[in-house]
Each structure stands twice: as structure tokens, then as C-alpha cells.
Chains A and B, each alone.
Chain A
Amino acid sequence: MENDYGMPTAPIVTARFADYVERDRRSHGMALRFTYPPYPVGWVPRETLKGYIQGNDPVTGVPLVEEIDNALTRPLSENEKTFKAQIRPERERLLEPDTEENLHRLFMENGWTDGLPIVLPTEERVAEMLTGTDHAPDEHVGMMSVTTHEERLKYTVEKCAVIAVMAGCRPEHFPVILALGESGRPSLPSSTTSFASMMVVNGPVRNEIGMNSGLGALSPVNYANSVIGRAWTLMSINFGDMRPGATFTASTGTTINYNNMCCAENEEQSPWKPFHVRKGYKKEESTVSLFRGWNVLTQGIGPSQRMLDVIKSLGGPFGGAFTFLTDPLVAKSLKNDEGYNDPMKLSEWLVKNTEFQFKDPERLNFIVVGGEMNPMWVTTDFSHFQTVVIDPWIPKAGIKKDARPLRMPEPVACAEGTCGIRL
């Protein structure tokens, strides 16, 4: 309004976000005159709002309405007329050398980690990680910000390798990490409402790198699932410039942010076409699909009618968007007992029987995950936002595997009648 329409403007933002918008002024090069009422203004009585308006701005101590008047009538100062956007300085490639102990402390105290120990990204380790792709270390991969408005930070293949090392990855995981980087999507968006993210891998790469799509696929029982999911968060912290209270404002947060529900789809046991094929990709392509939402409900059990009852009880940030993670037993039952040969038919039925704002079956998705221990499903209010193809990041010679790839114990199978009992 100020620049495009020549209209004096008084923006009002609650005092809780004064620091946030002050930074926004600097990054956007306009010295907007904010007025700050106390926080919160949502879900408070009218009398409280009246009190805010009759009272002082808690940041400046000036009466609130006087401040609004000043914002619109006080002549612009020279500083306000010539305010410039501020760009950050370029960063050095290497940090100052120090002892291992001090460097671990440095990473932790600078907020460059998720609070768990990391693998320090030495040049040797990063060089080894770079063998996991044919792409040049200095190739631009993408830009990211956990906010919607602040400066995007850009990153190269080498920067992604730094993140992969920190997360504990091996070169075999690196193509998936690069695909996550290519997405430009942070797993930790700067919303006060505590978003969670989810990533699901499809295609041949799942088994090549030992991802888990079966028993306990969402639990910490698989190396690849653990480190790849963690890498997305470390990427969001360091490339997305995630700083708690400053750029990251999730009020309660969520433990899902640690690993982002990283898993693969159980294509082998699914009676349906793989998720990525249903989204238009080829079966032989490897992809990573990214989701975001608020709520995850486990303990779902029962036929499609029960699914309908559950989603009717949920709201979610994107009204009418849901992603079900179904054990293969559920998917088989939906197909064999209820006749849903294509999960889109089930999506259409569910959408038809709900009253959500957006009635689009494409926004109601099914992914088959699990070890056939129990016919249960997980309900999420997650939207599918993006699918990225992993293959362009895979070396021409194929996935770079260690001579003896690192793997956690496989779930004990039932094939020989032992059914989970270790003999």
C-alpha cells in the first residue's frame, strides 16, 4: 500500500511478534511504523480488546491510538525515506579449526543441530559423502526459508553433503538428501501452530538403501529412515534459518519434527498401485513425497465407515485434506472386502460424505505402510504438497554403497512359523 498505492499505512502486530516484524523491516527495506497491542488478540473477551485500545503499546509505552495517529501523520524522517534492505554477508566455507569437543559445543550452542549429537562435517567426511552423487560440489541445489518472507538461504551439493554427514548418513543416502534439498521445502515452517512434516519414499531406491516400509516403519528401528528424516530437519535448521522464537514460532512444537515420519511405502505388500504412480510418476522412478499438517491419530481400526467417522472429528489446517497410512492388511481388506480397487474411489466416497470447505478427492491420500501385524491405520490431516524425483541425483554407476552396507536388524519374519519369537 505504501509504495504501490501511495497510501500511508499503520500496520498493527501483537507485541509478541515485535522482534519478528522489526527484522522484517530490515530485510524488506521499509521502515514501516508498527503499533503493538498486547498479545494475544485472538480468543479474548471484547473488554480485553477495549482495554488494549485504550491502553499503551507495551513495546513503546505510547498510548496505542496515539501511536496509530503518529504512524499516519508524523512526517517521514530521512532514515525512513532512505531505508535499505539488508543482505547478510557471505559465509566462509570452513569454520575456525578447533578441538572435537569444542566444535561439538559450537554446533550445539549455535543452534545448528537438533539437540542430538552429530557427526562433525570434516572435509574428509564431506568428500566421501560427495561420492554419493555425480553432481559437482559447487552446483546450486536450491533455496530455503522456514519463514514465508525472510531471505532465502541458498545451498550447493557440498552444503547438502555437510548436512548429510551431520545427520549420520552414508553416501548411499545422499541422492535422497539432495532431492529433499531440491524441494526447497523446510520441514519446520514458521507457524505458531506447530506443523509436522512427513516424507515418504517410493520406487527402487527404497530397497537399494535399506529403507523400512514394513514393521515399525515409523519407529526408530531402521538406519536409513532415521538419518534421512533427521537430515531434512538439519537442513531446515541450517538452510531455512530456523531459530526458535525468532524465525521458528511453533508454540508447543511436535516430536515429529525430529524425524518427519520418514518411511518408504510398502509397495510389495500393497494391493494398490504405489503412491507415486498414482501421482503420475513411473513405477521404476524413485521419488520422495512431502506432506505437512498438524494432527496424527494412531489406533485407527475398522472399515471405511470408521475412517469417515474419524475424519469428521478432525479439522486440520487445510480443511478437507487427509493422508491415511494404512497397514497392508487394511489396504487388502478395503480392496477385497469393500471393493476399493483404487484408493481414489475411497477418497471420492469419503469426500462425498463430509462437509469440509474443500471437497477434492485428490487431497485425501492413502499410503501403505506397515508389517501386517494388525489391520490398523494412522490418520493424519496432512496435505501432499510435493513429490521430487530422486533419480537425477543418483550416480550413473548406481547407488554408491559401502562394501558392507550398514543395516539394523531386520524384523523377525513369520515365514517359518516362528511369528516373532526368536529361536
Chain B
Amino acid sequence: MDAKNTKMAVLDPVGQPSGIFGRRLNADSPMFAIHDPTYQPRDTAENLSSLKMAERLDTLEGKTLYLVGTGFAGAREFLEELQNWFSKNRPGVKTVLKNKASSMFTDEPELWEEIKKNGDAVVFGVGG
């Protein structure tokens, strides 16, 4: 067999699965921690699979809907327009507009507690 048709074995260059996922940063993470792998890998597939979605509401009427801006470009303006739409078309739905204080990457437990205490559902936006 000539060299051109000789088969050769090579090693696979792709990394192996770890079952470790990045998820979110703590509120007290250092500045720019999102760019530091040290702060990312914290969730295993097993842990993530135990997460549950919340039960849904029967209706939005008479409920308080938090609109939370992520911090990406246009998010604030988009949610302001969404709030205007609800005011005009669904006045029975109370909306509260909030924007994340730090960045789109960090955890903000105080805001989540406020929403839990005063709200019934959340719209997060806008990603991308």
C-alpha cells in the first residue's frame, strides 16, 4: 500500500465531559469574576437535575408582575415598553419595573427576596 493510502491512528483532540456547569455568580464575587473560571464551575448535572420549575399562576389578572432588566443593551427600554403595553391593554395586571443593580451576571438575593415578598411572577429580559 502506498503512503497516500496508508491509514494512521491519531488522538482525539476534544476535551472530555466533566458534568460541571457554570451557573451564576454570587453577589459578592470579585469584579469581573465572570471572566475568571475560578468562579464558574459550581453546579453538577446531578444538582441541576434536581431543580424544579415553579407552579404556574391560574391568571395574571389581579397579580403583581415584576419586570426585571438584565442590563444588556436595550433591556431597560424594552421592558418600559412592555410595561406601557400592560398598562394600556391589561390594566388588571400590576407591573413593577426593576433593573439589576450590578450586572447581568451576578446574583442579587435582595431583589429576589423583594420579588418573592411582593410579586407573583417575573419577566426577565432581555438576553442577547
Which positions in A face B, CB cutoff 8 Å? 1-14, 16-17, 20-21, 27-32, 37, 39-44, 46, 49-50, 52-54, 65, 68-69, 72-76, 80-81, 83-95, 97-101, 103, 107, 112, 120-123, 126, 143-145, 147-155, 158-159, 162-163, 166, 183-185, 189, 192, 234, 238-241, 292, 318, 358, 383, 385-386
Contacts and interface: CB of A to CB of B under 8 A. Distances in A.
Given A73-B57, A143-B41, A112 B13 contact: yes
B17 A76 contact: no
B39 to A, nearest CB: 9
Given A7-B122, A43-B74, A123 B11 contact: yes
A29 B49 contact: yes
B22 A1 contact: no
B49 A17 contact: no
List of 7 A-B pairs having minimum Cβ-Cβ separation, nearest first: A42-B73, A153-B15, A12-B125, A41-B74, A42-B74, A13-B127, A184-B37
Contacts of B72: 41-42
A149 B107 CA distance: 14
Interface string B21-61: 11100000001101111101101011011011111111110
Contacts of A20: 128
B77 to A, nearest CB: 6
Interface string B53-97: 111111110000100000011110110011011000100000000
Contacts, number: 286
A37 B126 contact: yes
Contacts of A69: 60
A27 B5 contact: no
A46 B3 CA distance: 65
Main secondary structure of the interface of A (DSSP, over half): mixed
19 contacts: A2-B54, A3-B53, A7-B121, A8-B120, A11-B123, A11-B127, A29-B51, A49-B74, A65-B85, A72-B123, A93-B11, A98-B8, A100-B3, A143-B18, A144-B37, A152-B18, A159-B16, A183-B37, A238-B13
A46 B80 CA distance: 10
B60 A72 contact: yes
A102 to B, nearest CB: 9
Nearest to A91: B12
Given A7-B122, A28-B48, A1 B7 contact: no
A367 to B, nearest CB: 19
A7 B119 contact: yes
Contacts of A99: 4-8
Given A7-B116, A12-B125, A68-B123, A53 B18 contact: no
A52 B81 CA distance: 10
A148 B123 CA distance: 22
Nearest to A113: B13
A112 B12 CA distance: 10
B122 A10 contact: yes
B91 to A, nearest CB: 14
Nearest to A142: B37
Contacts of A192: 128
